[in-house]
A = this chain, B = another copy of it.
Amino acid sequence: MRHAGTMTSAPRTARAIARAELTRAILDAASRQLVEIGPAALSVRAVARELGMASSAVYRYFPSRDALLTALLVEAYDELGTAVEGADAAVTDRGDLAARWRAVCHAIHDWARAQPHRYALLYGSPVPGYAAPDDTVTPATRVTGAILAILHEAQTAGLDPVPPLPLSSAERAGLAPVRGFVDPPFDDDTLARGLLAWSALFGTISLELFGHMHRGVLDYDAHFAQVVDQLTADLGLITDG
């Protein structure tokens, strides 16, 4: 029994081609819906209407509204992951960790700015009544993975972040999972500055996109660049200087 729907290899039959195409069209239409009415109000019927098909037909492609939402989440995480990994990989001098870190940060920011509603889907309020299944975990990991890889290389290369406060013992114990994401494990200083940079990075983007800088900051791009540069310095990624 071969299953047809993995989409990893090129489809052969006309049916498979049509299916792949319509699956895409449904996801695109759903994505457009996200912009106007948000994930909570995402509607199978509206998607079908936009595509000019019966609402029941959508159920040939996604078994439920929540499955459609999950597919949107997975796709958004994957797109962002691809953008981030691509930006990282585009830095030819692999040892220039400051450049890689900046590239990753700006890739996230650029993607978020271009797709604010999908950013909100990933990093904004959780959708009430919807629990993301395990399928979303792996794609969600890619962004943090890219960040952690850079921090880990910095540690291995002996780059020291601006010395943070010593970790409390509760904090040290509580960070066991992150510490073990890499081998050899993160030291305290990298961990502390790394987590702070992570918070500041997504905090800046969220505050910007969700409208909280509106009355205080005029030039979002300049501000973001400044934040990233500062984090680069605090993480000690600038060699020599």
Measured CB to CB, the residues of A under 8 A from B are 36-38, 40-41, 117, 120-121, 123-129, 137, 144, 162, 164-165, 167-168, 170-171, 173-178, 181, 192, 195-196, 198-204, 206-207, 210-212, 215-223, 225-227, 229-231, 233
Contacts and interface: CB of A to CB of B under 8 A. Distances in A.
Contacts of A199: 199-200, 203-204, 207, 227
Nearest to A132: B211
A84 B207 CA distance: 19
Contacts of A170: 219, 221-222
10 contacts: A40-B40, A120-B124, A123-B212, A168-B222, A168-B225, A171-B222, A173-B222, A195-B227, A199-B200, A202-B207
Given A177-B216, A202-B203, A218-B175, A229 B124 contact: no
A171 B212 contact: no
What does DSSP make chain A's interface, helix, strand, loop or mixed? helix
Contact of A223 (B36, B174, B221): B174
A181 B38 contact: no
Assembly stoichiometry (copies): 2
Nearest first, the 3 closest Cβ-Cβ pairs linking A and B are A203-B203, A174-B219, A124-B125
A100 to B, nearest CB: 19
A30 to B, nearest CB: 14
B37 A38 contact: no
B217 A37 contact: no
A203 B210 CA distance: 12
A129 B223 CA distance: 28
Contacts of A227: 195-196, 199
Contacts of A202: 203, 206-207, 212
A224 to B, nearest CB: 10
Contacts of A117: 128
Contacts of A230: 164-165, 192, 196
B229 A165 contact: yes
A210 B126 contact: yes
A84 B69 CA distance: 37
Contact of A167 (B171, B198, B217, B226): B226
